[in-house]
Amino acid sequence: MEKGDTRGFSVIILQKVLGAAIVLFVLLPYMSGVAYAADLEGAKDHPILKRFGGSSIVGYNVKSFDDYALQTSTYRNYNPDTRKRQYASSPLAVEGRYTEIWYEAPGETSSLQLFRNYLNELKAKGFTILYDSQKDPAAVKWAGYLNPYGSRKDIKTNRSSNVFRAADYGGLHVASAKLGRPDGNIYVQLTAIEWGRDDAVYKAKKGAYIAVDIVEERPMTQNMVVVKADQMSKTITATGRIALYGILFDTGKAVVKPSSKPAIAEIAKLLKQNPALSLHVVGHTDNVGGLEFNMGLSKKRALAVVSMLTQQYGIAASRLRANGVAYLAPVAPNTSEAGRAKNRRVELVPG
């Protein structure tokens, strides 16, 4: 190259620019904070995790407080009555702020590629992997595993709400992880699936999807207003019954939670102030699970309330009758979590 000739430098610069562009092009499909297709309106990434490059959010749901069963062992089967998965050992019960995000990956991305990118991202963030189906030799029978996704009608999505439930089990990969923090642990569960074709019915595109469930552990803010005995008496006189929402139970269980004690105490006060009053204690549930299951559950919950009143507050058993009606007397549609919450209640009926 002669003195003053800049053509050589131009070639070198062009080569470097092209080289950088090629590297950038190769890296784009991996974990990044950039989306190339339009996200679902109002949806956004969780701060703890980047997204797979070029993917878009097609499902989104956030709850300020909810419980979650985190998989830590081999999946065994699906219980259609409780609409819950069953595992080799009990899942880890966690609760706190819940975020659910469904991502649709670009182009020819496989579910395994998508899954491993997220798993590597969790490890890089300091998460401890609690379960990885890739390392579980018994994780070969997945029948029914995706069924619970079909009941998630409260998720906002621009795909069918059954897009996960209807996917092929052959491309299914699952993992769970935990990040320990002094102010509350963070738990993540990954569920990656694959669609082998475009499907107009489920609004699915050929390629991979991943559901990212994140629970930020934190105590629930107790904001229940306890109905006082005097108000119970007035409402029963005026309407013939009263619905109480301050008596709480864990999902699918019939053990009264300790936070329910103020409500139980007011029922006892009502009965002591009105010696001639007898009550039917009636349990009501939402429609999650079969009728037979919920009939039994609602009756057991009513019995648990009666037991507390007789054993802890000295109310005569002859003044109380426990009954359960499952989801046969709803006060709201069971099509949303808000409606289901209204239907989960204990009612007092004189008689």
List strand residue ranges (DSSP E) for 256-327, in order.
279-284, 320-324
For position 151, what pLDDT does the model report? Answer: 64
Domain assignment of residue 223, yes or no: no
Residue 199, SS3?
strand
Name the domain boundary from 217, 252, 279. 217
Q: Indicate whether 15 and 40 sit together in one domain.
A: no
Name the domain boundary from 184, 217, 250. 217
Q: Indicate whether 280 and 320 sit together in one domain.
A: yes
For position 37, what pLDDT does the model report? Answer: 67
For 119, the token pair is 């798993």
Q: Indicate whether 43 and 140 sit together in one domain.
A: yes
List strand residue ranges (DSSP E) for the chain, in order.
31-32, 51-52, 56-70, 75-79, 84-87, 92-104, 128-132, 156-157, 168-179, 186-195, 207-217, 242-244, 279-284, 320-324, 345-350
Domain assignment of residue 152, yes or no: yes
Domain assignment of residue 224, yes or no: no
Residue 176, SS3?
strand
Q: Indicate whether 238 and 340 sit together in one domain.
A: yes
Domain assignment of residue 193, yes or no: yes
| Pair 67, 252: CB distance under 8 Å | no
Q: Indicate whether 171 and 257 sit together in one domain.
A: no
Q: Indicate whether 272 and 168 sit together in one domain.
A: no
Q: Indicate whether 80 and 172 sit together in one domain.
A: yes
Q: What are the helix and strand counts (H, E) for the chain?
A: 6, 15
Q: Which residue ranges of the chain lie beneath pLDDT 70?
A: 1-37, 151-153, 219-224
Q: Indicate whether 107 and 178 sit together in one domain.
A: yes
Q: How far apart are CA 248 and CA 136, in angstroms?
A: 37
In the chain, the number of structural domains is 3
Name the domain boundary from 183, 217, 251. 217
Domain assignment of residue 80, yes or no: yes
Q: Which domain holds residue 308?
A: 229-350
Query: b/e per residue, 106-144, with b = 16+ CB within 10 A?
Result: beebebebbbbbbbebbeeeebeebbbbeeeeebeeeeb
What Å distances lie between residue 63 and 44, 97, 139, 318, 336, CA to CA? Answer: 14, 6, 30, 42, 13
Domain holding 270: CATH number?
3.30.1330.60
| Pair 187, 68: CB distance under 8 Å | yes
Q: Indicate whether 8 and 46 sit together in one domain.
A: no
Could you tell me if residue 316 is left (phi over 0), alpha (psi between -120 and 50 degrees) or otherwise beta? beta
Q: What are phi and psi of 279, to 5 degrees?
A: -130, 140
Domain assignment of residue 243, yes or no: yes
Q: What is the pTM of this model?
A: 0.62
For position 195, what pLDDT does the model report? Answer: 92
Domain assignment of residue 222, yes or no: no
Pick from 157, 161, 147, 142: nearest CA to 74: 142
Q: Indicate whether 324 and 184 sit together in one domain.
A: no
For position 117, what pLDDT does the model report? Answer: 98
Q: How far apart are CA 56 and CA 203, in angstroms?
A: 14
Residue 141, SS3?
coil
Q: How far apart are CA 274 and CA 178, in angstroms?
A: 52
Q: Indicate whether 103 and 186 sit together in one domain.
A: yes
Q: Indicate whether 146 and 259 sit together in one domain.
A: no
